[in-house]
């Protein structure tokens, strides 16, 4: 990857982090990110553009650490049932949201 493309990845990371701070809701970020991720992966983009968007933007926007911290807080309260429900619910919702993004993208291509 060239220096120019590396700078684009860094700028995408910066933009995603800024948006994440503005929204400040892990569930909404996760759902929106999964939907947009689905839209991007189904598009016929060149590999550099996909790297910039998927590795740069979405890695920072839908940070896994935010999801883990949310689950940690539930576990810290000692609520195992709520933890299991949220873990499965969040993963399922995000998977189907991403698939919906892929489906929507295929309808417009």
Q: What is the pTM of this model?
A: 0.82
Instruction: Provide the greatest CA pair distance for the chain.
Output: 48
Of 40, 41, 52, 46, give the one whose Cα is nearest residue 5: 52
- Residues of the domain holding 99: 3-107
Six-digit token string for 69: 């911290």
Structural domains in the chain (count) = 1
Tokens of 4: 């120019």
CA 105 to each of CA 2, 42, 62, 80: distance values in angstroms, whole numbers, following the listed order: 29, 6, 20, 37
Query: Tens of pLDDT along the chain (109 residues)?
Result: 789 988 999 999 999 989 988 988 888 888 999 999 999 988 888 888 988 898 889 888 887 777 888 889 999 999 999 999 999 998 999 999 999 999 999 888 6
How far is residue 38's CA from residue 62's CA, in Å, rounded to a whole number?
Answer: 13
């Amino acid at each position: 990857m060239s220096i120019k493309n590396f700078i684009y990845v860094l700028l995408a990371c910066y933009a995603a982090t800024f948006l994440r701070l503005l929204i400040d809701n892990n569930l909404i970020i996760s759902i929106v990110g999964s939907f947009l991720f689905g839209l991007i992966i189904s598009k016929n983009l060149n590999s550099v553009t996909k790297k910039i968007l998927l590795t740069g933007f979405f890695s920072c926007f839908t940070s896994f650490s935010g999801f883990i911290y949310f689950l940690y807080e539930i576990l810290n309260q000692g609520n195992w049932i709520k933890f299991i429900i949220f873990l499965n619910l969040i993963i399922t919702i995000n998977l189907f949201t991403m698939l919906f993004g892929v489906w929507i993208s295929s309808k417009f291509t």
